[in-house]
A = this chain, B = another copy of it.
């Protein structure tokens, strides 16, 4: 028998530290597969960020740099300018990128910085115990708003992909999900494109991945996948929001 699926090479042997069913693991694997397929492990550099994935420098078998909360795109910018031959990706949660790091990501996008951003939208601050993220759905429970998100008090869920696409003319920006096999395959394609647009020097790449946090959603993993489909995607439509430069090619 031949192994047809298995751990990608760009992933280390260290098991993931995440809760059972946590989407971070799936997304990590997709990134590693793309790094393998594009054969860029030797020149890829990942930027970690604060969040449950803060120590994912242990997961990727490539050079890694840790950034402080929200600053990934700035660190990536400095590094890419210093080492233009490398392939830089940031890995950021929705707290990291859509809350404290708003300035950094908006400007990296508008500079069309040649970096790749993997943006994990799980609708919650996972690492700090389930507080409301900018992406938390209306009515959704969190430890900061125990009665559920009320737009009157704390506003509307932020659609980062749409917003960033609006300011980043040379870019590939897409929203994907990992709630079933079909979408996982699509998600990988989007991640691949988000890398390619950098590698081919065509622009800024960002894949927003709708993800689950079973622990803070207080749901079984399988129920989480169903919830992504039933509740999350209707608010956060999947698709490509910017692929100007790709079409131009």
User: Which residue on B lies nearest to A81, using beta carbons?
Assistant: B153
CA distance A110 to B159 in the complex (A): 10
User: Which residue on B lies nearest to A165, using beta carbons?
Assistant: B166
- CB neighbours (8 Å) of A163 from chain B are 106, 163, 166-167
In contact, B103 and A155 (Cβ under 8 angstroms): no
Interface magnitude class on chain A: 20 to 34
Q: Which of A153-175 contact B (CB under 8 A)?
A: 154-156, 158-159, 162-163, 166-170
Interface centre among A107, A113, A170 (most CB of B within 10 A): A107
In contact, A162 and B156 (Cβ under 8 angstroms): no
**Number of identical monomers bound together in the oligomeric complex:** 2
> Does A111 sit at the interface, judged by CB under 8 A?
yes
> Does A30 sit at the interface, judged by CB under 8 A?
no
> Does A222 sit at the interface, judged by CB under 8 A?
no
- CB neighbours (8 Å) of A113 from chain B are 155
CA distance A115 to B158 in the complex (A): 19
User: Which residue on B lies nearest to A169, using beta carbons?
Assistant: B156
* One of B112, B151, B155 near A151 (C-beta < 8 A): B112
CA distance A162 to B166 in the complex (A): 7
User: Which residue on B lies nearest to A106, using beta carbons?
Assistant: B102
Using known A-B contacts A156-B167, A166-B159, A166-B162, determine if residue A107 contacts B102 with beta carbons closer than 8 Å.
Answer: yes
In contact, B110 and A156 (Cβ under 8 angstroms): yes
> Does A100 sit at the interface, judged by CB under 8 A?
yes
16 of the cross-chain contacts (CB-CB < 8 Å) are A99-B107, A102-B106, A102-B107, A106-B106, A106-B158, A106-B163, A110-B156, A110-B158, A111-B155, A112-B151, A112-B155, A112-B156, A113-B155, A158-B167, A163-B163, A166-B166
